[in-house]
A and B are shown apart, each in its own frame.
Chain A
Amino acid sequence: MTAVLENPAAPSSEPEVGAVPSFDVTLRIRRYNPESEHGEESTWDDFTVQVHGTDRVLDALHKIKWEQDGSLTFRRSCAHGVCGSDAMRINGRNRLACKTLLKDVNPDKPITVEPIKGLPVVKDLVVDMEPFFASYREIMPFLITSGNEPTRERLQSAEDRERFDDTTKCILCAACTSSCPVFWTDGQYFGPAAIVNAHRFIFDSRDEGATQRLEILNDKEGVWRCRTTFNCTEACPRGIEVTKAIQEVKRAMITRAF
C-alpha cells in the first residue's frame, strides 16, 4: 500500500487500505481441554474463516471464537504487540498472534497454531505463566542503589542510557524463553527472558546490584546453559538481540566489567 502526497489520485499498483481483497484461510489449532470428552489428550482442530489482507492471526482466532467455536481459548489484550499476552507457536515459530499478518504466513496452506512450548498447557493456547514469572522475579528485576537518594533525578549520560536500551523493550511475552531448546528439556533453566531483564539492570549505570545478579546467574541453571542457538533472538517480537544480551552477561561474569 502506498499513499503519495504529491499526486494522491495517481493509480497505484499496490492494493490500498479498504480495497484489500478477502480470502479464506484454514487454521489448524492444537486443542487441549481436560474438561472435554478428550480429557488429557490434545487434538488438532481445523477451522476455515474468511479474512482480509490486513488481518492478523489474532483476527482469525477471534473470528473462530466469535463465529464458530466459543470454547477456543487464548489470551490477548492490546492486539498490537505491546502487552505480550498472545505469544504462540505459529507454523512452528514463536510469534505474537496480533503481530503476525496472515498474508505473511502462507495462507495457501493450513496455518498451524500451538501453545508455546516448555510451560504446562492449561487449555488450548493458554499456558501456565507462573514458572516463567518466577524466574523473572528471581534475578532481582529492579534498580538496586545504596545511600541517600538524590534530591532531583540521578544523572545518566545519553550513552549510558543507550547501553541497556535494547533490553528495556522486553514485554515478558515468553516467546524467547519458550523457543529455547535448553528450556524445553530443563525447566529449571532461567531462560532468555530472565537474563534479558537481568541485563537491563546490570548495564544500567545507576544500578549497584550487578554483582548479586551475576552471582544468581552463575548458577548451574544460569547463563552457562545457553547454547547460543539464536532461537530466542529470532523469536523476540520486540527485536531485542537476546542472544547478544546473554553473551554480554556471560562476558560480564568473566571480566566483572559492566
Chain B
Amino acid sequence: MQTHQYDVVIVGAGGAGMRAALEASGEARTAVISKLYPTRSHTGAAQGGMAAALANVEEDNWEWHTFDTVKGGDYLVDQDAAEILAKEAIDSVLDLEKMGLPFNRTPEGRIDQRRFGGHTREHGQAAVRRACYAADRTGHMILQTLYQNCVKQDVEFYNEFYVLDLLTDHDLTTEQIEDGAEVNATGVVAYDLASGEIHVFQAKAIIFATGGAGKIFKTTSNAHTLTGDGMALAYRRGLPLEDMEFFQFHPTGLAGLGILLSEAARGEGGILRNSEGERFMERYAPTIKDLAPRDIVARSMANEVREGRGAGPNKDYVLLDLTHLEPAHIDAKLPDITEFARTYLGIEPYTEPVPVYPTAHYAMGGVPTNVQGEVLRDSHNVVKGLYAAGEVACVSVHGSNRLGTNSLLDINVFGKRAGRSAAAYAKTVAQHKELPENPAARVEAQLAEMRDRPEGERVADVRQALQETMDANAQVFRTGDSLNEALATIRDLQKRYRNVSVQDKGKLFNTDLLEAIELGFLLDIAEVTVVAALNRKESRGGHYREDFPNRDDANYMLHTMAYRRPTSAPDAGDGHVPGYFDHVENFGDYKVVLGSKPVTQTRYEPMERKY
C-alpha cells in the first residue's frame, strides 16, 4: 500500500474534473485521479453545444436562459443555481475560447451559435440561437482543450486509478450526528489498475467529478465505464443521493444501438417522422415542435411507436429526416453523427432518414451540493472538504429534465466553482485531518473477497439482467407495477451479486475484477433510482408515471433525498434524516430511507409546461 498527501484530490478527469483542476492546481497541491486516461472521458462524446446567452447572432440574455432552464426542468430546478448557471455561462464560454477551444465562427469571426431544444427567446416565444458549438464535436473540443491546459499547467494525474472508497471522520451510516456538527472528508482509497496496488490519498479537500451511471440501462449513449462510481461510494458511506428517479432519455439514439445523434441535428433543421411520414412533433409541441425539451420528445416518440406508427420491420423506431438539408450543410455542421449512421447502420443521411429511438443519456440526480460545490450530508448540512461537480452532482440546475447544452455548461460553471472552493478551503486547513485506522481495509477486503471466490455467477449475466429490467420497466414510461417488478429483479440480482466470481485472479491490469466491482455500483444506483421512482407518485420532467400522469406540486414539489442505512438505524422524520416523504424501503440487511429537500424558488412561479 502506498500513501500520498495532497491539498486537493480530484476524482475524475472529464470536463468537470479538469475544469476544477485548472482552478485548484494553481492555488494548492492538487492531484487528479482518473480510472481512464483523461482524454477518454465521456465529456468527449458530447456533441451539440454549450449554452450561453452571448447574443452573438440574435438578441438573447441570461434571464431568458434561466427561465428556460427552470421550465425545462419542470420547476424542480433550484432557481438560484439556475441563475448562476445562466449568468456564468457567458464567462465560461469565453474562458474556453481563451484557452484555445476552436469554436465555429460567425461571418464576423465571433463564436457561432445555433438552436437547441427548449432554449427560447422571451420565455417561450420561439427557439433562440444559444448553443455555442464546434461542429458536432463540442464535447470533444472541450475535453481536449481542458486537457491541453492541464498539460500547460503541469497538472498531476494518476491515470487508470479506480477510486473505491471515500474516507470520512464520522460514520454517517450509523452515528447520530447533531445538526450543525462537523463532519470531514479525509481522503480516498484507489486501486492502480496497472499494478493492482492500493493507494491511499489523504487530502484536505476532495472533489468528486466521476460522471454518470448510464450503464444501469441496456440502451444508452453512455460509455461502458459510466457505472456511477462516485454516486455509489458516497451513498454507501451514508451520504444522500438527490432526485435519482430523474433520468434523461435522449430522443435520438441510433435505433437498436443507443449511440447518440445530437439534438443539433434538429437544431440544424432535422425533422422527426413516424412511419406515415408525419412530422408528429407538431401534435405534441405545436410552437417549437422538434425542438421541444428531451423528455417531451422522447415520450412523444415512444408514444408513436406504442400506437403503431413506428417505422421499420418491427415498427419499433421513428425516423430522423435530414434529407431536405444540403449535403454541404450536413458536412459542415453534423459530420460525426452522420458518419455514425453510415458506419453503424449503413444509412446515408443525405438521402435516407435515420432510424432513432430514445437512449438512456443523463442522470439529473446525484450527490447533492450547494452552489459552491460543497456536498450535503442531509437537506442542509455540508461535509467539510467534500465537493462534487458535473453529472455525479445534483446542484440542482437540471431539476427533473436537463436541457440540451446545459451539461457542458454545468461541468464548466460548477467544475470551476468546485475547484475554487476546494482550493480556498484547503488553504484554510493547517493540518490534514487524521485518516481512520487501516484506511484501505474495507477496499482490500472487498477486492480479496471478489478475487478469491473460487466460482460463481458471471458478472456479465447479472449485469445484463439488470440492464434489461431497467430498460423494460424504468424507462420513458413507468408504472407502480413496472417499477415493483424492476425492484424485485434488482433485489434478486443483489443476492446473486454476492455469488459472482471473476476468472482473472491476477494483479496486473485486472479489468475482470474491476468490472465486478463496477457491477456492485450499478446495482446500488439502479436500486435507489427505482425506489425513488416508486415513491414519486406524479409525472414530472423525465419521470413519467402512467398511473399518475399529472404533475402534483402540492405533494411533490420537493427534491428526493435517498439515504442507505443499516436496518437498525432510526428511520426518517426523527431528526436523524430530516424528511417529509418518510418512506422506508426495508431490504433486510439495509434500508433505503427517503427524505426530502425544499426546492429553491426565486422569480418563477410554477406553471403548466407547454411548448
Contact = CB atoms under 8 A, between A and B. Distances in A.
A1 B347 contact: yes
Chain B residues touching A, majority SS:
loop
Chain A residues touching B, majority SS:
loop
Nearest to B97: A153
Given A73-B511, A78-B223, A80-B340, A154 B98 contact: yes
A28 interface: no
Interface in A20-76: 33-36, 54, 65-67, 69-71, 73-76
B126 interface: no
B171 interface: no
A84 interface: yes
Interface stretch (B78-86, B387-395, B501-509, B521-529): B501-509
Interface stretch (A111-119, A164-172, A176-184, A218-226): A164-172
A17 interface: yes
A79 B42 CA distance: 11
Contacts of A34: 508
Contact of B110 (A65, A76, A155): A155
A77 B225 contact: yes
Chain B interface: which size bin? 35 or more
A137 B458 CA distance: 41
A196 to B, nearest CB: 12
A141 interface: yes
Interface in A126-170: 126, 129, 133, 136-137, 140-143, 149-150, 152-158, 161, 164-165, 168-170
A138 B103 CA distance: 25
B37 A129 contact: yes
A5 B321 contact: yes
Given A70-B504, A142-B148, A169-B137, A152 B94 contact: yes
B224 interface: yes
B276 to A, nearest CB: 8
Contacts, number: 193
B259 interface: yes
A170 B147 CA distance: 13
Nearest to A99: B343
B345 A70 contact: no
B151 A65 contact: no
B484 interface: no
Interface in A77-94: 77-85
B603 interface: no
A122 interface: yes
A153 B111 contact: yes
Given A69-B503, A101-B343, A35 B508 contact: yes
A170 B102 CA distance: 13
A74 B257 CA distance: 21
5 contacts: A5-B319, A19-B313, A35-B507, A143-B98, A168-B144
Interface of B: 36-37, 39-42, 44-45, 93-94, 97-100, 102-111, 134, 137, 140-141, 144, 148-149, 151-152, 194, 223-225, 255-257, 259-260, 273, 275-277, 311-314, 316-317, 319, 321, 323, 336, 340, 343-347, 352-355, 458-460, 502-504, 506-512
Interface of A: 1-6, 8, 14, 16-19, 33-36, 54, 65-67, 69-71, 73-85, 99, 101, 122-123, 126, 129, 133, 136-137, 140-143, 149-150, 152-158, 161, 164-165, 168-172, 201, 204, 206-207
Given A54-B257, A77-B36, A206-B100, 4 more contacts: A71-B506, A85-B36, A150-B98, A153-B103
